Amino acid sequence: MGTKDMIALCSDFKDKHDSVCIFGTGDFGRSLGSKLLQSGYSVIFGSRNPGDSRLLPRMAEVLNHVEAAEKCSVIIVAIQRDHYDFLKEFEEVLEGKILVDVSNNLKINQYPDSNAEYLAQIVPSATVVKAFNTVSAWALQSGSLDASRQVFVCSDDNKAKQQIMDIVRAIGLTPQDKGCLVAAKEIEDYPLQLFPMWRLPIWTCGGLTVLVFLYCVIVDIAYNAVKGNDVSVQLMITIPNRVFPIVSLMLLALCYLPGVFAAIIQLCRGTKYSRFPNWLDGWMLCRKQLGLVALSYAFLHAIYTLVIPIRYSVRHRADMSILNQIRQNITRTLEKPLAWRSDTYLALGILGFFFYVVLGITSLPSVSNAVNWREFRFVQSKLGYLTLVLCTGHAMVFGWNRFLLLDRYRWYMPPVYTLSLVIPCIVLILKLILIIPCIDNKITKIRQGWERPSSNKSGAKIKTYDVAL
């Protein structure tokens, strides 16, 4: 293709796009303007100081607000909400135009109404569309839009909304239709939320960590201190290396427990068309985050375990043991059952950790997007349960028969590793019951849409999540 053809193609492409006006020449206005220009739009900035356009893209036109608004049907208002009042001064020019509200607030519920609804109230003769607020000026400028490719769009006017969604697509972003303008409040809250899906997993993990740590301190450090034996040196590595695997295993089991509860609820109700209780809904929605927190603790356990041979207290104990054998002139022979047990314990741990990592990797969007739904379910469900079995086995072989030894019950408290087994064993036993063929067939039928005749009295069908995990 020759240069002339290229130029013709570019100008043809440009002709197909309207001019877009941007009010405000600040960070966001400039970044969005550059992106629109790169995508073939003509951009006209509306500014209080049209003469001062040093930082603006060269191909853009800069006029005062009225002149700029007169030239375009779409006006992006890249100005803070506090300054919207100036729009009233030339409301007649804005009549019938599409005003795109891109604004964010500093905190949730800063104003009683959303910024977009406020804009619609100030300029009632225009059509307001909420969009672009979840994309940052920096991401638009640097092109690193991977994390914020989605643009949530809402408006009471469908035609105007579609027009803005076309612009969103044209600049390489993905529009998400969120419905009417009342949704603007929710959209404005998105960029202000701090890890909403991580809150429950992190609180659960933090709470369990504190409880298990205190339990270990009481059972190991305080008990020995009372008996006149100072083992406080264990606080740095030994105790944390007990806490991390125990909490990790509990969290892994907590990822699979809601799926089991959901199956039991569906079995009891005889239908999948009824809503789960809110607590179960919330729990199921954050299983991925729970799993990732559990994986991070498993990593810590692996790292803490690797440093054991280089610890001074461990080397000292090993040296003393050898010296004692020499002094007493005894030779400890290899205890084969103990060797088997130790290797089994380590092998289960290594394999469990391997599958743990596979689960974590497949939960990454770039990987999960590359597998189909069946493959994803296979990994997260089948391999997930295999991981739970291996890690539970790892803890069981570690503890072996110690829960039967009375001297391990310090102050009548069971050894800490037994605590780690409670939730995983409940999950595995319930799962074993649920996969008994006659029960499993019934659940499969329910999940394929079958309903027990008595279960559909309300007539209202609400689809619940696919809870195969």
Q: Are strands 174-177 and 150-155 parallel, antiparallel or unpaired?
A: parallel
What does the per-residue mask of binding to ligand NAP show for 134-163, with x meaning CB under 6 A? --xx--------------------------
104 binds ligand NAP (CB under 6 A): yes
20, 21, 22, 28: which one binds ligand NAP (CB under 6 A): 28
- Rounded CA-CA distance 56/45 in Å is 9
User: How open is the CA angle 202-207-211, to the nearest 5 degrees?
Assistant: 150
Residue 279 has which token pair? 């607590």
Residue 16 has which token pair? 């197909």
- Rounded CA-CA distance 469/85 in Å is 52
461 binds ligand NAP (CB under 6 A): no
The backbone region for 270, taken as left when phi is positive above 0, alpha when psi lies in -120 to 50, beta otherwise, is left
Nearer to ligand NAP, 54 or 332 (CB): 54
Nearer to ligand NAP, 14 or 83 (CB): 83
Q: What count of residues does the chain have?
A: 469
Stretch that binds ligand NAP, among 102-110, 149-157, 227-235, 347-355 (CB under 6 A): 102-110
114 binds ligand NAP (CB under 6 A): no
20, 21, 22, 29: which one binds ligand NAP (CB under 6 A): 29
103, 241, 271, 464: which one binds ligand NAP (CB under 6 A): 103
SS (H, E, C) 263-296: HHHHHHHCCCCCCCCHHHHHHHHCHHHHHHHHHH
CB-based contact 241:220 (threshold 8 Å): no
22 binds ligand NAP (CB under 6 A): no
Nearer to ligand NAP, 76 or 286 (CB): 76
Nearer to ligand NAP, 103 or 114 (CB): 103
Minimum distance of ligand NAP from residue 343's CB (angstroms): 56
Q: Which of residues 33-52 bind ligand NAP (CB under 6 A)?
A: 47-49
User: How open is the CA angle 385-387-391, to the nearest 5 degrees?
Assistant: 120
354 binds ligand NAP (CB under 6 A): no
Residue nearest to ligand NAP (CB): 26
Q: Determine how many CB atoms are found less than 10 A away from the CB of residue 413.
A: 14
- Rounded CA-CA distance 101/117 in Å is 9
Minimum distance of ligand NAP from residue 51's CB (angstroms): 11
Minimum distance of ligand NAP from residue 225's CB (angstroms): 55
- Rounded CA-CA distance 66/91 in Å is 10
Stretch that binds ligand NAP, among 132-140, 198-206, 337-345, 415-423 (CB under 6 A): 132-140
Q: What is the DSSP letter of 222?
A: I
Helix (H, G, I), strand (E, B) or coil at 401: coil
Q: Which of residues 315-334 bind ligand NAP (CB under 6 A)?
A: none
Q: Give the residues lining the site for ligand NAP (CB under 6 A).
A: 24-29, 47-49, 78-80, 83, 86, 102-104, 133, 136-137
